[in-house]
Amino acid sequence: MIARFSSGLLVALVLLGFWQALVTVAGLPPFILPGPLRVATALADNAALIAWHASVTFTEVLAGLALGSVLGAATALHMAVSPLARRFLRPVLVLTQALPVFALAPILTLWLGYGIGSKILMAVLIIYFPVASAFFDGLRGTPRGWLDLAHSMQGTRRQVLWRIRVPAALPSLASGLRLAAVYAPIGAIIGEWVGASQGLGYLMLLANGRAKIDLMFAALAVLALLTLLLHRAVGAGCDRLTARLS
């Protein structure tokens, strides 16, 4: 754990050093690319403002992640036990990826308004497919020997599903949830870019329009940090769940 943290900190320091060297050597003006020190100053000077908008975005991300994960897992379970569901829901899964999220964002904003509802739905749409697809693949990939043993012991379909197939598919579900933790902020930010009055995406657009590029980079850095923390938290929770049930 300590070694992983140390390596991550070293990579971050190297990237910051390269960033500062690029700005200094190339002589880039602050309105093109501000240096890390200038961004840190903007972060400190606007800490309360950034924290408020970050709380809005994080609420949207958490709600979208929860709803999208539940819907994706439920869809995978339904397809695993019902051939009819597989026939009708598989095209729906493909359709969620065939339609660009950027194209749906203005429509969702028109229907649901500028509140957090459209942003939550954007996050749900962007993570629904990876969760459903990963969990369904795990449910289909149950070792044949386990299923034969369960049938030989006269296990019912419900018992086979919940005691054999679902535990065996948990690592696949965990992979889907880890991807969802990274994708969910993308959906929320896209929704905020299209139309919002709060959130980190809105703050970035506002700062860019007022040529406060250091503030825009500060909001972007906070978004990246929140995404990393969410990914780490979801990963730790998945590791505990799979270890407990394995």
Length of the chain: 246
Per-residue pLDDT tens over the stretch 156-178? 888 888 989 999 999 999 999 99
Residue 120 belongs to a domain: yes
Q: How many domains is the chain partitioned into structurally?
A: 1
Residue 27 belongs to a domain: no
The structure tokens listed for 198 are 């709060």
State residue 2's pLDDT score: 56
* Nearest Cα residue to 58 out of 195, 192, 193: 192
Residue 18 belongs to a domain: no
Query: Helical H runs in 82-161?
Result: 83-98, 101-112, 116-140, 144-152, 157-160
| CA–CA distance, 53 with 201 (Å, rounded to integer) | 9
Burial class (CB in 10 A: 0-12, 13-18, 19+), 225: exposed
Per-residue pLDDT tens over the stretch 140-151? 998 888 888 888
Give the residue numbers spanning the domain of 231: 50-245
What values do phi and psi take at 215, rounded to 5? -65, -35
| Dihedral sign for Cα atoms in the order 65, 68, 74, 78 | negative
Per-residue pLDDT tens over the stretch 19-66? 888 888 888 888 889 999 999 999 999 999 999 999 999 999 999 999
Residue 82 belongs to a domain: yes
Residue 15 belongs to a domain: no
Residue 136 belongs to a domain: yes
CATH number for position 132 = 1.10.3720.10
Residue 185 belongs to a domain: yes
